[in-house]
């Protein structure tokens, strides 16, 4: 039986066009049109939800980030566009196909100060589709409160996300404090910040570092033996 993450994708040139239209809806602040594109012209036409995440929402969000970095859109416009992706992911959540529960718990959080949570939310959805029980803590989780949560609900793995490079010290601090709490807890890291910090994952000596949600799922299954 195929996992929901391994089912054939409807690969077509239409992805690019649909992505551009979704991006245009983001930039114009048209929430209704953005959702219509994803649902009516995506999900209801047979595009797997995983592809909607990775081939439409994620690259569109990367483009939003690039436009902001190049000062071609304002902070307010970036927030407007990102809010639409957050809304889209929330709306699509109820449509997630799910494998049977594998009994493993993964906690996902953005490090202290990190406000960009779309990637971490997406990773949480992919883990849940693969049968993991996910505790998604969201953006900007103070390290002290993360440790407190770990004490209350110790997971099988902790996944930490960092998008902006100036939050990498917070990642280092979080990993150090988590290891003081439990040296055996598996730790995964990811996020765009690693694009500008090649090799950092080896320095951090974590259980896993990956480029996208599919890699995180595959590694989590391997590491946790499911």
How far CA 149 is from CA of 160, 178, 190, in Å, comes to 14, 11, 20
The model carries a pTM of: 0.88
How far apart, in whole angstroms, are the C-alpha atoms of residue 215 and residue 33? 31
- In the chain, helix, strand, coil percent, each to 5? 55, 10, 30
Q: Looking at residue 64, what is its pLDDT?
A: 95
How far apart, in whole angstroms, are the C-alpha atoms of residue 197 and residue 37? 35
Would you write out the chain's pLDDT as a tens digit for each of its 226 residues? Answer: 345 454 444 455 678 999 999 999 999 999 999 999 999 999 999 899 999 999 999 999 999 999 998 999 999 999 999 999 999 999 999 999 999 999 999 999 999 999 999 999 999 999 999 999 999 999 999 999 999 999 999 999 999 999 999 999 999 999 999 999 999 999 999 988 888 877 787 788 898 887 789 999 999 999 999 9
Domains of the chain by start residue, with CATH: 14-93 (1.10.1240.10), 105-224 (3.40.50.280)
């Amino acid at each position: 039986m195929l996992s929901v993450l391994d089912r054939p994708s409807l690969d077509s040139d239409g992805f690019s066009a649909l992505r551009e239209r979704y991006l245009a809806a983001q930039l114009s602040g048209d929430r209704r049109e953005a959702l219509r594109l994803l649902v009516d012209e995506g999900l209801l036409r047979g595009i797997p939800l995983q592809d909607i995440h990775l081939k439409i929402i994620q690259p569109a969000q990367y483009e939003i980030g690039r436009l902001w970095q190049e000062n071609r859109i304002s902070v307010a416009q970036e927030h407007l566009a990102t809010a639409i992706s957050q809304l889209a992911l929330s709306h699509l959540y109820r449509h997630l196909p799910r494998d049977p529960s594998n009994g493993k718990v993964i906690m996902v959080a953005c490090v202290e100060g990190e406000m960009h949570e779309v990637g971490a939310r997406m990773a949480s959805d992919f883990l849940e589709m693969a049968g993991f029980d996910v505790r998604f803590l969201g953006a900007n989780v103070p390290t002290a409160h993360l440790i407190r949560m770990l004490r209350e609900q110790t997971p099988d793995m902790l996944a930490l996300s960092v998008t902006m490079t100036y939050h990498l010290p917070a990642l280092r601090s979080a990993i150090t404090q988590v290891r003081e709490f439990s040296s055996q807890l598996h730790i995964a890291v990811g996020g765009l910040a690693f694009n500008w910090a090649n090799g950092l994952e080896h320095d951090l000596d974590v259980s896993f570092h990956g480029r996208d949600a599919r890699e995180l799922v595959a590694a989590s299954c391997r590491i946790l033996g499911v």
